[in-house]
A and B are shown apart, each in its own frame.
Chain A
């Protein structure tokens, strides 16, 4: 009698319900596709929390009020060498303006809350002429200038931005600070209806920044009213912001309502939030790292490789003398 092969073990038999039902196969297939899609969408969505994509189209630059003459720019000066300006789209959609939200894309999306007209700026403290100025008065006081500056963020990225505005020194000359004024403070608007994220307490609002008087009157220190030849969009600090090109970007208070001439070093917002990470001076310095990351190099927005960071952001010639007697590692 021929020997039969051993019978397959019962565990190897295809279960009749699977063998018989083609439907089960189709069901598995459908479940596979649906679950893949759900997992894909879910993981993609979760991984984008906290770093949302920017809006695809930047909001258009704010239109000048009817009857306003287009800006006449009297002087154009570039303070960069052979470095193209960062595209308008990037300058206006990649912003740190925590009052309008914490992600880079939030400010552009939330800027519609901010109403830059009417707007008044208080000149307060130790000045011969304390006063409250309408923003349009301020616009008429000085001839508008364009200045192309590098902007280095403390987060190790940078841009090149054509600002429009006037040197702070001219305003200071006009309001005549007294000898008691040793520092200048720049305070952002406090109004959660216009700056909705002021409802959160990530920083102590209103945002305050400050400069020493000699820094404030340095010819590089600039009050910007616009960029790329047009009024500032809300996300860039409309209608008036400070630009200090040799310091990290956070020194530039946005949407300023008060310029104060004070005797003591102002308590500035980031310095209060994390004194070991953000100093009062905040001069761009490749030698002094942020405790958590290197400041030796930076990514210029739009470029793929990093470039070395320059002392004082490349403006050492104009400003290094201000800090001759200062230990920059201690006074970072």
Chain B
């Protein structure tokens, strides 16, 4: 019965996220982001989105490997916060960075793999955010919902690629994120394979 004591977790994640955004807004307002505040804010929002997305992908592997369950309550919230951060990241790029020049942005998306990859990741996040409620699971039925939400792995890989392509020389950080995503993915694949092999072992007549 440890669960009821975690009721604070989801509200705390949301307000923590709001605090992080508030802190960024404060530093923009106080001119603390340096000579190129738009680029800095853009980078920080992007990294915030990738961090949250990666954290959301750590929940299930932690359950599978260590047997922890508390973090499963945070998974949906982390995913949604990742989506909203990615949306803010895009709005920052569209507005302050490109001056709402939609044509130029479309041209950018068409011409540049780095931007196309990031944009694709954001677009693919939309159906996942849209179907994040419990009702959506019932409406879609669990197997379909589950299949849809497996998209989060390709999305996370696209996000890592977007980050990797943006960096000029030092690829350490994008590779760290990529490693985390791949580790989570391998744990899930291994668990899936293990379960399937157990099932087929049981199904084999003696």
Are the CB atoms of B23 and A44 closer together than 8 Å?
A: yes
Shortest distance in angstroms between B206's beta carbon and chain A's nearest beta carbon? 44
**In the complex, what residue of chain B is closest to A92 when comparing beta carbons?**
B35
Are the CB atoms of A43 and B12 closer together than 8 Å?
A: no
Are the CB atoms of A40 and B47 closer together than 8 Å?
A: no
Roughly how many angstroms separate A299 CA and B34 CA in the complex, as a whole number? 14
Of A31, A37, A47, A299, which is within 8 A of B36 by CB?
Answer: A299
Q: Which residues 5-31 of B have a CB within 8 angstroms of A?
A: 5, 7-9, 11-13, 15-20, 23-24, 27
Shortest distance in angstroms between A38's beta carbon and chain B's nearest beta carbon? 7
Are the CB atoms of B12 and A32 closer together than 8 Å?
A: yes
**Please, how many residues of chain B have a CB less than 8 angstroms from a CB on the other chain?**
49
Tell me if B185 counts as interface (CB < 8 A to partner A).
Answer: no
Shortest distance in angstroms between B104's beta carbon and chain A's nearest beta carbon? 8
Are the CB atoms of A299 and B112 closer together than 8 Å?
A: no
Q: Which residues 17-51 of A have a CB within 8 angstroms of B?
A: 18, 24, 28-29, 31-33, 35-44, 46-51
A-B contact pairs, 19 of them (CB 8 A): A35-B12, A39-B12, A39-B17, A39-B19, A40-B19, A43-B52, A44-B24, A47-B51, A48-B44, A51-B40, A51-B43, A51-B47, A53-B27, A54-B35, A86-B35, A155-B168, A292-B113, A301-B36, A306-B99
Given A36-B11, A104-B36, 7 other A-B residues pairs in contact with their CB atoms under 8 A: A28-B7, A43-B51, A44-B23, A47-B47, A49-B47, A51-B47, A202-B170
Roughly how many angstroms separate A61 CA and B5 CA in the complex, as a whole number? 57
**Please, how many residues of chain A have a CB less than 8 angstroms from a CB on the other chain?**
53
Are the CB atoms of B52 and A50 closer together than 8 Å?
A: no
Are the CB atoms of B99 and A44 closer together than 8 Å?
A: no
Which residues of chain A come closer than 8 Å to B35, judged between CB atoms?
A: 54, 86, 89-90, 93-94, 104, 301-302
Tell me if A78 counts as interface (CB < 8 A to partner B).
Answer: no
Binding site for B on A (CB under 8 A): 15, 18, 24, 28-29, 31-33, 35-44, 46-51, 53-54, 56, 86, 89-90, 93-94, 98, 102, 104-105, 155, 157, 200, 202-203, 273, 289, 291-294, 299, 301-302, 304-306
Are the CB atoms of B108 and A294 closer together than 8 Å?
A: yes
Shortest distance in angstroms between B50's beta carbon and chain A's nearest beta carbon? 9
Which residues of chain B come closer than 8 Å to A90, judged between CB atoms?
A: 34-35
Shortest distance in angstroms between B166's beta carbon and chain A's nearest beta carbon? 7
**In the complex, what residue of chain A is closest to B43 when comparing beta carbons?**
A51
Roughly how many angstroms separate A32 CA and B23 CA in the complex, as a whole number? 19
**In the complex, what residue of chain B is closest to A155 when comparing beta carbons?**
B168
Which residues of chain A come closer than 8 Å to B24, judged between CB atoms?
A: 44, 47
Roughly how many angstroms separate A35 CA and B38 CA in the complex, as a whole number? 29
Which residues of chain A come closer than 8 Å to B17, judged between CB atoms?
A: 39-40, 43
Which residues of chain A come closer than 8 Å to B7, judged between CB atoms?
A: 28
Which residues of chain A come closer than 8 Å to B23, judged between CB atoms?
A: 40, 44
Are the CB atoms of A306 and B34 closer together than 8 Å?
A: no
Which residues of chain A come closer than 8 Å to B8, judged between CB atoms?
A: 28-29, 31-32, 35
Roughly how many angstroms separate A46 CA and B173 CA in the complex, as a whole number? 11
Shortest distance in angstroms between A18's beta carbon and chain B's nearest beta carbon? 8
Are the CB atoms of B47 and A36 closer together than 8 Å?
A: no
Which residues of chain A come closer than 8 Å to B166, judged between CB atoms?
A: 292
Shortest distance in angstroms between A102's beta carbon and chain B's nearest beta carbon? 5
Which residues of chain A come closer than 8 Å to B165, judged between CB atoms?
A: 292
Roughly how many angstroms separate A157 CA and B34 CA in the complex, as a whole number? 13
Tell me if B159 counts as interface (CB < 8 A to partner A).
Answer: no
Roughly how many angstroms separate A291 CA and B108 CA in the complex, as a whole number? 11
The 10 closest A-B pairs by CB, nearest first: A39-B16, A40-B19, A94-B35, A54-B34, A35-B12, A90-B35, A32-B8, A47-B48, A43-B20, A36-B15
Are the CB atoms of B112 and A294 closer together than 8 Å?
A: yes
Are the CB atoms of A37 and B173 closer together than 8 Å?
A: no
